[in-house]
Chains A and B, each alone.
Chain A
Amino acid sequence: MLTNSHHPDAATQVEMFRRMALLKANDERSRKVVTAGRLAIPYYSYRGQEVIPAAMSVNLTDQDYLCTIYRGIHDVIAKGTPLKAVWAEIAGRVNGTCKGKGGPMHLTYPSKGVMVTTGIVGSSMPIANGLAWAAQLSGDGRVAVATFGDGASNIGAFHESLNLASVWKLPVIFLCSNNRWGEHTAYGKTTPVARISDRAAAYGMAGIHVDGNDPLAMYAAAREAVERARAGEGPTLIEAMTFRFHGHVFGDADRYMDKAEKAKWVAADPYPAFRARLIAEGLASEETLAGFEADAEAQLDEAVEYALGAEFPGLEELSTDVFGEAA
């Protein structure tokens, strides 16, 4: 159970909001750029889920590892990957993080600990275990975070990974954003347990069920898991409840979603709620927060134009990076 003993100080809360502002603006800009036909990419909107990466990332260092998924650009940006490099990558340009060879579903940026972004549901977890194993062997105090959605908790790799992490007591955090939808199918049709976090008990692992749209609760959950991992006390499964405001992939009109449920979640959008609370409690001024938003837009203006004006990789890149030079 969550102890709720961790409370972010004012500066941390403001920093969490700053990151959320950037993530929200980035998602809105992404959809705008795709809608305008300036980019043709598979895009998985994370709008509505910004609290989780913001609260997790403020508890991590650049040395900590992240393995995320196709709906994980917010994780990648929150971890500190430069926006220009991200945009150049999703635009397939040579100056992108991966020389344009990964794209929006395969972002990598090791200098900020972004080791893998995967397009395969559930596959972030087995690899995060290995990174955590390396940290355990090296004794360098790093933690590894695997992010995934609720649908991933039904693939075999989830169960294999939790079991191995627990038996090896790895410094790994399994961070599930439960947005109630696995592609087009509702949670209840695919998952027989009310809470994914309950599955932690089956592996002798700490499980935390948390409101992933509540910045304070999410911060506390992330903090507790990171401290447990750094202390050598093993892995944690966090189930962060949230909701995605758009369809599975951009262009999907989400007709399968329950309209009333969606309306309820959108009305409870965590972004304006957190913004209003920071001002109401005197933790930040309207000017400060508006400044973050304006800065995010300015960064995006620059990043998008940088990316769309950049060169595509030369065709010689087609067959490089398949293998390295043999020793």
Chain B
Amino acid sequence: MSDTLLAEKPAEKTAKPITVLEALNQALADAMAEDDTILVLGEDVADPEEGGVTGVTRGLSTRFGDKRVRSTPISEQAIIGAAIGASLAGYKPVAEIMLMNFTTVAMDMIVNHAAKLRYMSGGQTNVPIVIRTMTGAGFSTGGQHADFLEAWFAHTAGIKVVIPSNSADAYGLMRSAIDDPDPVLFVENMPNYWTPYPRFDPGHRVPIGKARVAAEGSDITIVSYARMMNEAQGAAARLAESGISVELIDLRTIAPWDQETVLASVAKTGRCLVVHEAVVPFGVGAEIAAVVSEKLFGKLKAPVGRVGAPFNPVPFSKPLEDAHIPNAARIADAALALVKGHSN
């Protein structure tokens, strides 16, 4: 279940790292070059508007033309509606909703239409769109610009949800999302846009629905995704100093999540801790905890643990924001409690 795509051709990798932002730009450019039905739309996405507020789509309109890469008005319902309609007619739009909080403005289009048109039409129509959106606390943007809302979408049948943690996955998941015949919500984690990660092979794909075992271990399984993978890795290093061996799983896809990989790991370690940046109540961790508990009841050495943000909006003031975001120390403490407190 480890990332064989990366492991297969290590010789082709170059030493120069690549940021998540560059990887996303490369994925869009490569896909558009291969398939002229791929369109990009969203606020500020074309080059006269600087290729988006963070530059993910920079260069695309210059290269592929302003018919295929269009900046839109600030109209989230219109953006997703246009993407849906064009997809019904055979195009593959990649629509950007600048921030995840703004998806709320377009929820009708996403939840009632994009996710359901295949089912309600009895399979006659489908909506092969990608909805790109970014989020993540750490920039003092306050309560309306940094929420992780992936559980809302994962709770809706008919839409897939992916969240990469590094450049290779950002590229590979984006290519798979564009290829997918159904709507995919593609969540980008703003705080790690500019983080350099190892380079990947051109054309590399990461299948939707497959998790990656980032590190093997024997005492506890930590399941995480997005930038929290960095914190979980930090936690694993701390725990190693205490002689605790962590198996670390990067979920990569939230819906449908890779139960097989997670259950196999927890069956081996007997302990599971789910870590995400979203608030804990009703979150992705709740679903994973429920399934792990149900499937592995009797084999668990401890209750499934969860680490996430406390149940409050993202605060503005820096010390409060820092306290809101889960970090390596909190994750290590929670893991330690599970290992020490409940070991047989």
Contact = CB atoms under 8 A, between A and B. Distances in A.
Interface of A: 65, 67, 96-102, 106, 108-110, 115-116, 118-120, 123, 125-135, 137-138, 144, 156-157, 160-161, 163-164, 167-168, 320-327
Contacts of A97: 121-122, 124
A138 B81 CA distance: 18
Interface string B153-192: 0000110100000000000000010011110000000000
A164 B82 contact: yes
Interface stretch (B53-61, B71-79, B215-223): B71-79
A272 B46 CA distance: 55
Interface stretch (B87-95, B267-275, B290-298, B327-335): B87-95
A129 B41 CA distance: 13
A97 B122 CA distance: 8
Given A116-B113, A118-B113, A324-B182, A99 B87 contact: no
Given A120-B108, A135-B89, A129 B120 contact: no
Nearest to A116: B117
Nearest to A123: B108
A163 B77 CA distance: 12
B182 A134 contact: no
B248 interface: no
Nearest to B82: A130
A130 B124 contact: no
B91 A134 contact: yes
A129 B108 CA distance: 16
29 contacts: A96-B122, A97-B121, A98-B120, A98-B121, A101-B120, A101-B121, A102-B121, A106-B121, A108-B121, A108-B122, A108-B124, A110-B88, A115-B89, A116-B88, A116-B113, A118-B113, A120-B113, A126-B80, A126-B84, A127-B85, A130-B89, A133-B86, A137-B39, A157-B77, A157-B78, A160-B81, A161-B81, A320-B123, A322-B157
A99 B120 CA distance: 9
Contacts of A323: 118, 158, 160, 181-182
B44 to A, nearest CB: 15
A130 B87 contact: yes
Nearest to A317: B122
A108 B125 contact: yes
A109 B157 CA distance: 22
Contacts of A115: 85, 88-89, 125
Q: Which of A100, A131, A144 has the most CB of B within 10 A?
A: A131
Q: In the complex, which of the residues B70, B75, B121, B125 has the most CB atoms of chain A within 10 Å of its own CB atom?
A: B121
B20 interface: no
Closest 7 CB pairs of A and B: A130-B85, A126-B81, A134-B89, A99-B122, A98-B122, A108-B121, A160-B78
A176 B285 CA distance: 46
B137 interface: no
